[in-house]
Amino acid sequence: MAELNLVQAINQGLAQAMEADDKVVLLGEDVGLNGGVFRVTEGLQKRFGPERVLDTPLAELGIVGASVGMAVYGLRPVCEIQFEGFLPAVMDQVICHMGRLRNRSRGRHTVPMVIRAPHGGLVHAPEHHSESPESYFMHTPGIKVVAPATPKDAKGLIIAAIKDPDPVIYFEPKRIYRALKEDVPDQPYEVPIGKARVAKEGKDVTLISWGAMVHTCLEAAKKLSVEGVEAEVIDLRTIAPLDLEAILSSVAKTGRAVIAQESPKTCSVASEISALIHERALLKLQAPVKRVSGWDARMPLFRLEKYYVPDADRVVRGVKETLQF
């Protein structure tokens, strides 16, 4: 077992998936010779050859469209979009084809492909490089959406995503790409898509998040603990499908829920989770569900992004509002 960061863990997962199945191919801008914009695919072209790790033109819609065709004809493409802010360029293929082909063909065709994309802010990037667009894809039927928060989960989820018979959007929290390490099993393994984990147990309030914001919630839980408040932290791992059972089980125990996310609040993943909790567990609640979000504005440039992305103190304030209700 080696101690790996997220980049290394995803790289190892990709390599092992390619070793296990020669139908797995990688494609994207600079994924071959340069190893991708964040070096997640570093060394894989040299190891597996240019026919399985393909450098593409700068054409996001073409990358995803070609991947849809490859998947229908029996390959398992994993394509990289260099930054999540360029995903709107691929929405025609995602909405009109990738997410519909199984239904359109009445099950004769599936689309076993993965779109990998870095996710979120706080890396001092320019415009279109720090977005949180997961709600677009959660809203689109036929697509699974995952967002790991740890290296161990990152490896297991990328292998599970590649093996999945249906398309998966795989968001990589770029601000923690190299910020943390943990022991990652050497052998291939899967983390099931659609299963959340309890990152920290507690009894007073449930904090729900995904990706890098899980670590913000853990920091907030640590601050709350000093004040005698024990927060339970749920790491969703998967945004679509949601592990609603895990969410409701925790809320039934604590009676309060705070959802933390980087994206704008309106019509967001947090909005959907809040609605589900109120629909399914209203009588378990001791306070309305609280959303701690980015603002309803585009992500600002780097001088202001720390005021946009919720920090632990904003999560703590959200928790205190629910406790004082």
Catalytic (active-site) positions: 129
Longest dimension (CA), the chain: 60
- List phi, psi (to 5°) of 264: -55, 155
Closest of 150, 170, 174 to residue 159, by C-alpha? 170
- 21, 53 Cβ separation under 8 angstroms: no
Closest of 168, 260, 258 to residue 212, by C-alpha? 260
Cα gap 254→250, rounded to integer Å: 6
Q: In the beta sheet, which residues pair with residue 78?
A: 26, 114
Peptide bond preceding 77: is omega within 30 degrees of 0, i.e. cis? no
Sign, CA dihedral 204-315-215-36, equals positive
Cα gap 253→20, rounded to integer Å: 42
Cα gap 184→197, rounded to integer Å: 17
Amino acid at 140: T
